[in-house]
Structure 1
Amino acid sequence: MRTLLLISIYIFTSFSIRANEWKILKPQGAPKAYEIAANEFQKFYNAVTGEKIDIIDTPEKEVNLIVIGSDIVNRYTRDAIEKKIIKPLDLGAESDSYRILSVKDNKRDVLFLAGGNGRSTLYAVYDFFERQAGCRYFWDGDIIPKANHIEMTGLDIAESPRFMYRGLRYFAHRSLTRFQAEHWGPDEWEKEINWIVKKRLNLFMLRIGMDDIFQKAFPDIVPYPPTDKTLPEALPRSFYDRTTAWPLKYRGELRKHILSYARDRELIHPEDMGTMTHWYSCTPKAFLEAVKPTFNPQSGGAYLGNPTNAVWDIRDDKNLDNYWKLTQAHIDNYGSPNMFHTIGIAERETFDNREDNLEMKLYAYRRIINKLREHYQTAPVLIASWDFYLPGWKGKEINKLLKQLNPSTTIILDYTSDLPSNETNTHFENWGVVNKFPYTFGIFHAYEWENELRGHYDLIKQRMPVAAADPMCKGFVFWPETSHSDPLMLDFFTHNAWNPDILTPEEILPAFCKDRYGKDAEVMLRGWTAAMPVIKLVDELPARYKEIWAFAKKEITEESVKSFRDNEAIIAGTLAHVPGILRTLAGLPYGYGNKFIDRDAIDLARTIAGRQFTAELHRYAIAQADYRAGKCKINNVRIAEKRARAVLYALRDILALHDDYSMNASLKQIESVEQPINPAFEQALKGNSENDYCRSYISEYFDYYYLPQFEHYTKEINKALAKSKRPEIFPDVSKMDMQYIVDAFYNKPLKEMKPLNPKSRTNKTYRNILDSLAQDLEKYH
């Protein structure tokens, strides 16, 4: 009897295993993205369940199938439609739409993951695991829950994006690895590109210099630079020093790998064309000496005193041809001619007369596009809108440009839709593009130094619905000068780029916290919610910790601080809550091993402290002005100084709790790529980050740059306060030369810049820093 029972159990179990067996059916002879989709399904299923599903390319009997690809690539899908097992999937050719559909084919279960192209088929795979397994995708890692089973039946999902193009830009500044794409090696780039696809984006742009394109385009003229010296054209201690860490030949190999990896996933990368020479894409001195290009008037050798960054005069056919050789060299070696991009003459002014200058810029666009059409007649062109915003074009001026462009092949790449308008700077609603000419809606978000949590959310709320409702708006792009600076904004953008229905950060915060923090979602939501009013003070409290020297060199008068007083009246109510906000943030579970919480807790704390320091520095200036005018006692100035110092030192201690803000840690990460490091790069890295445009939240700067400058400033102020007579000039700007601090910073190796107040990276340390700062702000009142 027992034997019969065991046999019955064995037969039943064997039958159950066969009946529930699944295999992944990938299409034969399809583009590589479909093979990647099959592999990704296999990988994620294994990561969730611990079980591996085999991949096949021909159907097997009595096997449940995960079918990768629509009927345009997978014959099984086509047969299923013709046999009436499924209805037509209604996925347009080249479409980013996709379907997730489960059906019965006789006794077998079938799960279709199909897109209008390979890229959107990948979207379907990632979306399946998001819906069915609870997977979540962030730039800094995936969250993959564990489960014994993933339900693959009962699904009928159809997704289509609102915008044709959904993209990101990676810019050329250099300091911290988290924020600057120039520091990323192959592992970081593969992770980033995978994340782009997981978030259903389809376009990205490398604005990280041209690497070795001059060497590829002009091999007989431009040699590779030395790997152990500063670039010949480098301008030390500035962002014009483009000396690379890795050999330039390797940077070319890395670029090839990045773009090949992206192409395999069918991402779009626009090809740069036209007047490409700029600070991040310098003309090598060897080219200047051999070719001697003429320069655009006013932008030539006089452009910031550096001809390597000047625009060649494209009225000269030779110059235009050489620009095109750079574009074609990039296509031949790295890219693909599916889409193009130009900045025109961009920020450069050619003539003093506005009308003549505009005409020259219109001419440049026409001439650049005409050169493109000699080679590629129908490829779409993105016209960058930066020139419209800065220095600023009027609507009538932009309308002149639109009349000269072909709307069937041209898109205005607007990435300033979130920036405030003023008399010189307008936005897309004033340009005459709405309902008339193809354009994108874009979030610029941040200049290089603005890498804290931020966002002009109120302007986005006003303007995004206009773009979403306009059929001429073809895209949604996120185009900042930094990467990964704000995880909430990244989620806000990627969601709305697909389906623009969330207008405020508060709307997305609950889901964001649940997805990112799991069991700690509630406490993290409290932290984000408490901090949000201060985070939004983007314009009212710009970063001042980075410009203490410049601040100190300005005489403090009642007139010069009037704007501080007016601003104070607006923000005082919000800032009154900062001690309470700090105590709320002190309760966040930093230091317990969750990398998302550790990173975001520091982001929240540094943003609040950074905003507060600006307020305190302004208050310090107000107190000085009031003391000089006899409106307050000396103690008011001393209290203002103590408050500013307490915030600045706390900000130093906050940043030391995470490697994201250590330039030395970034340099070590760069060195981890198996390539020789140029010994001159450390000075270039310092120059790239120390210049007044690029200084930001860098921990080494606080101990060895910002704090010494602050102490110098306050020391001179206190000398003036010590005098019996109120000073007539306050401060004495002649005493504010701090070059010795800058020189000492450059002379000290990064590896020797140890934290001067080292603390353990524990929850207790984090909590004590924020609680102590809250107490100081209340004590020095």
Structure 2
Amino acid sequence: MKQLLFSLFVACAVPLCSFASAGEWKILEPREAAPAYGHAAREFRKFYRAVTGRELEIVREAEAGVPLVVIGSDCVNRFTRDAVERGLIEPLDLGAGSDAYRIVSARDGERDLLFLAGGNGRATLYAVYDFFERQAGCRYFWDGDVIPPGDSIPMSGLDIREEPHFYYRGLRYFAHRSLSRFQAEHWGPAEWEREIDWMLKKRLNLFMLRIGMDDVFQKAFPGIVPYPPADSMLPEAKPRSFYDRTTAWPLAYRGELRRHVLHYAAERDLIHPEDMGTMTHWYSCTPQAFLDSIRPTFCPQSGGAYVGDPCNAVWDIRDDRNLDNYWRLTQTHIDAYGSPQMFHTIGIAEREVFASRPENLEMKLYAYRRIINKLREHYPTAPVLIASWDFYLPGWRDYEIRRLLDQLDPTRTIILDYTSDLPSNESNTDFTNWGVVGRFPYTFGIFHAYEWENDLRGYYDLIAERLPVAAADPMCRGFVFWPETSHSDPLIMEFFTHNAWNPDTMHPEELLPEFCRSRYGEHAAAMERAWRAVLPLAERCTELPLVFRDIRETASSKPDSAALAGYRRSLEQVAPQLEQLPGIMAALAEVPYGAGNAFVDRDAIDLARTLMGRLYTVAWYRYLLAQQAWEQGAAPAAEVRRWGSDARTLLTALRDVLNLHDDYSMQASLRQIEAVRAPINPAFEQALKGNAENSYCRSYISELFDYYYLPEFEHYRREIERELQSPSRRLTYDAERMEMQSIVDAFYEKPLDEMRPLNPCPRTREEFRRQIGTLAARLQRM
């Protein structure tokens, strides 16, 4: 059930028009049409009831003289066709199967008509949601709807046509696990239904589940791969890592959940590409039982993190048997869950097959050709998305990408680029240099964030530079948002959904006034001031990364002169933003957290934690630079202690502000998972910890601050303090003394339900202001 947040809505003066009345209007649903049209009728009834408190009847036969809300174009609703032929409305001119839609008012004698028509089922749903946005002031966010109450809704005088600029507009959900807000693997049926409904409200049409294989191996190879035990660790799990894929719910239930999610999406006409080819990458592990029985051969690999790990290795597709087994997984997923509407492959992503670059390229080109050729044996005309991650990491050069393009069919292939917002790296340029612009179909995509980067962030300037190129190029077929973490930044999500439909806003800050009015209501002005104050530092995610997560790694290897020089450069680059710190803290202190608006409460913590995370990095860099200066005789020990104290203050402040919201608690996430009606694997808690604590995934997690980061910091600071007593003025970073494995072990040994906040705080406006004010006073010298 969606959270309905009612807010006061001040409307502009509305011209005289007819208004809906529960005793007059009815909703005319097509008699025979795809399920999406029935959903459109029910959604109109639901939102009308939510706004006015009155119920409209859904009918399939028009009654004489009764005003009607007519669902569907003349292709699916005979009443609409008759209205065109009688001249009540002009031809709708909606392309067959297109995402264009019309909202048209008409009169038929003494009765009013309202037509909500799309080129397909999902477009008709777009029309319904757009109607309530325009006429009733409704607004849609991933975490709830704003539905202003009203006695009536204007229904006449409308003639609206909408058509998307980009054909494909999509999202990806990735396979990490720790906090339910950010990780789709934690979501049950209710969360997924809300998410899919939100996609449609924001006029998206494509999504992808990259959340593991679920039980596809068990279905594809039933006599070979059994379902794993539901009460112990997965046989191939790697403890204390993101490769512990032990599931919370039994794998058979996860299969049922996948079926429900994809069926729910398909009924609403969303596109879900089918994975094919070399799918045993990352979090789509090969079960040990399959390895033991089938014994696949593996693709050569010259180096990298996946060497020697058969569960995460790519089978050698030069072997027909391996290619056939990969296809068997794809076809099984289609038969059990999906649809052969569209396909997706990652090729041999992130793997370096041969040490020789030319040989490596040739193998990767061969893999794409072989995978696509296998597809064409079964589905000759289906479109294929070629994921671009391998282009970016480890990186293809522009001429290598052009060689690939020369081997692909542009009539049936699209380059799924989702790194359009990332800076060019040493071996890779951005999409404008690949030879796709004006030549080959591709998507513009925002990667936005790795798993650990769940704060407010974005390469906004790069987006503003590159999006106009894609928007002006007819070969750019889509706009996708493809991060490793979901729901991390509500502003960038609004920016994406806005521009995916009509790319006319090149910088997220341009949307702030309307975003704040829509989301925060009476608190809009205070929230906009806070957003504008924090964003300049939030955008400095390159210069000020999340180093609180890497205390143990720093302690194990003393920063060298090159690293320290980089820290100094970063501090110089952010100096203008730091000069604004008093104003930033003042704006944040005025945020009305605790005033009863759930959107404000969530976003207040996002703004505060992002700011504190950036400032912690500043203090940490200065702490390390002060250590170097002390060793060189250029600073007293007191200077080192000062910055160590400031870093600890910020780390503690981060801990305290995170405790003001359940979004950052693993224990709260576990309770949400347990609320789904499926048994919980008792081994999952350790898997959850391992998925959260490993060096790749650590982030803003309450339990990590109290029982991991702060103990590590105190250990580190004690050792630095001890070495500051040395007359030699040399910090040794002694490996034995800096060892922190006992802290890690204690984290895993302590049950989550015993990891209570060590500084519990009331979730009140006064407490939020106190925390910000106390921190501001401590940071006056920063």
TM-score range, shorter chain: over 0.9
The answer to whether the Cα contact below 8 Å between 2:20 and 2:155 also exists between their aligned partners in 1 is no
Alignment partner, residue 154 of structure 1: 157
* Superposed counterparts of 1:265-284, under 5 Å: 265-284=268-287
Alignment partner, residue 740 of structure 1: 742
Give deviations 1:471-526, integer Å, cap 9, x for gaps.
00000000000000000110000000000011112210000000000011001000
Between the aligned partners of 1:729 and 1:705, the Cα distance in structure 2 is 24
Between the aligned partners of 2:554 and 2:22, the Cα distance in structure 1 is 74
Q: 1:759 to 1:19 in 2, by over 3 A?
A: closer
* Superposed counterparts of 1:432-443, under 5 Å: 432-443=435-446
Between the aligned partners of 1:301 and 1:652, the Cα distance in structure 2 is 35
Between the aligned partners of 1:344 and 1:595, the Cα distance in structure 2 is 42
Paired positions, count: 765
Is 1:305–2:308 an aligned residue pair? yes
Between the aligned partners of 1:511 and 1:699, the Cα distance in structure 2 is 32
Equivalent position amino acid for 1:79 in 2: D
Between the aligned partners of 2:20 and 2:165, the Cα distance in structure 1 is 42
Q: CA deviation at 1:299?
A: 7.1
Is 1:167–2:174 an aligned residue pair? no
Match of 1:116 among 116, 119, 135: 119
Between the aligned partners of 2:19 and 2:251, the Cα distance in structure 1 is 58
Alignment partner, residue 536 of structure 1: 539
Give deviations 1:182-239, integer Å, cap 9, x for gaps.
0000000000000000000000000000100000000010000000110110011101
Alignment partner, residue 774 of structure 1: 776
Alignment partner, residue 614 of structure 1: 617
* Superposed counterparts of 1:574-653, under 5 Å: 574-653=577-656
Give deviations 1:15-38, integer Å, cap 9, x for gaps.
999997111111111000000000
Unaligned runs of 5+ in 2: 1-17
Equivalent position amino acid for 1:438 in 2: P
State the SS of the aligned residue for 2:140: strand
Give deviations 1:70-122, integer Å, cap 9, x for gaps.
00001111111111111111100010000000011111111000000010000
Q: CA deviation at 1:435?
A: 0.2
* Superposed counterparts of 1:334-413, under 5 Å: 334-413=337-416
State the SS of the aligned residue for 2:378: coil
Is 1:81–2:93 an aligned residue pair? no
Q: CA deviation at 1:632?
A: 1.1
Give deviations 1:696-740, integer Å, cap 9, x for gaps.
0000000000000000010000001123x1433343344211111
Equivalent position amino acid for 2:548 in 1: Y
State the SS of the aligned residue for 2:234: coil
The answer to whether the Cα contact below 8 Å between 2:656 and 2:759 also exists between their aligned partners in 1 is yes
State the SS of the aligned residue for 2:457: coil
Between the aligned partners of 2:560 and 2:510, the Cα distance in structure 1 is 43
Between the aligned partners of 1:761 and 1:507, the Cα distance in structure 2 is 32
The answer to whether the Cα contact below 8 Å between 2:173 and 2:484 also exists between their aligned partners in 1 is yes
Alignment partner, residue 38 of structure 1: 41
Between the aligned partners of 1:370 and 1:534, the Cα distance in structure 2 is 48
State the SS of the aligned residue for 1:303: coil
Equivalent position amino acid for 1:768 in 2: R
Q: CA deviation at 1:557?
A: 5.0
- Comparing 601-610 with 291-300, greater Cα deviation is found at 291-300
State the SS of the aligned residue for 2:731: coil
* Superposed counterparts of 1:167-186, under 5 Å: 167-186=170-189
Is 1:234–2:237 an aligned residue pair? yes
Q: 1:16 to 1:171 in 2, by over 3 A?
A: closer
Unaligned runs of 5+ in 1: 1-14
The answer to whether the Cα contact below 8 Å between 2:302 and 2:355 also exists between their aligned partners in 1 is no
The answer to whether the Cα contact below 8 Å between 1:209 and 1:280 also exists between their aligned partners in 2 is yes
Equivalent position amino acid for 2:745 in 1: D
Between the aligned partners of 1:90 and 1:113, the Cα distance in structure 2 is 13
Between the aligned partners of 1:775 and 1:475, the Cα distance in structure 2 is 48
Q: 1:418 to 1:300 in 2, by over 3 A?
A: closer
Is 1:66–2:69 an aligned residue pair? yes
Alignment partner, residue 759 of structure 1: 761
Alignment partner, residue 131 of structure 2: 128
The answer to whether the Cα contact below 8 Å between 2:630 and 2:729 also exists between their aligned partners in 1 is no
Between the aligned partners of 1:299 and 1:278, the Cα distance in structure 2 is 16
Between the aligned partners of 2:270 and 2:113, the Cα distance in structure 1 is 28
State the SS of the aligned residue for 1:441: strand
Is 1:474–2:463 an aligned residue pair? no
Equivalent position amino acid for 1:356 in 2: E
Alignment partner, residue 6 of structure 1: none
Match of 1:682 among 676, 681, 685: 685
Match of 1:749 among 735, 751, 755: 751
State the SS of the aligned residue for 2:779: helix
**TM-score, normalised to structure 2's length?**
0.96
Between the aligned partners of 2:659 and 2:20, the Cα distance in structure 1 is 54
The answer to whether the Cα contact below 8 Å between 1:18 and 1:63 also exists between their aligned partners in 2 is no
Q: 1:315 to 1:131 in 2, by over 3 A?
A: same
Alignment partner, residue 728 of structure 1: 730
Between the aligned partners of 2:563 and 2:349, the Cα distance in structure 1 is 33
Between the aligned partners of 1:559 and 1:629, the Cα distance in structure 2 is 16
Q: CA RMSD in A?
A: 1.5
Between the aligned partners of 1:564 and 1:386, the Cα distance in structure 2 is 28
Between the aligned partners of 2:304 and 2:509, the Cα distance in structure 1 is 50
Is 1:696–2:699 an aligned residue pair? yes
Q: 1:564 to 1:43 in 2, by over 3 A?
A: same
Equivalent position amino acid for 1:39 in 2: R
Between the aligned partners of 2:563 and 2:73, the Cα distance in structure 1 is 66
Give aligned-pair identity as a percent.
67
The answer to whether the Cα contact below 8 Å between 2:126 and 2:201 also exists between their aligned partners in 1 is yes
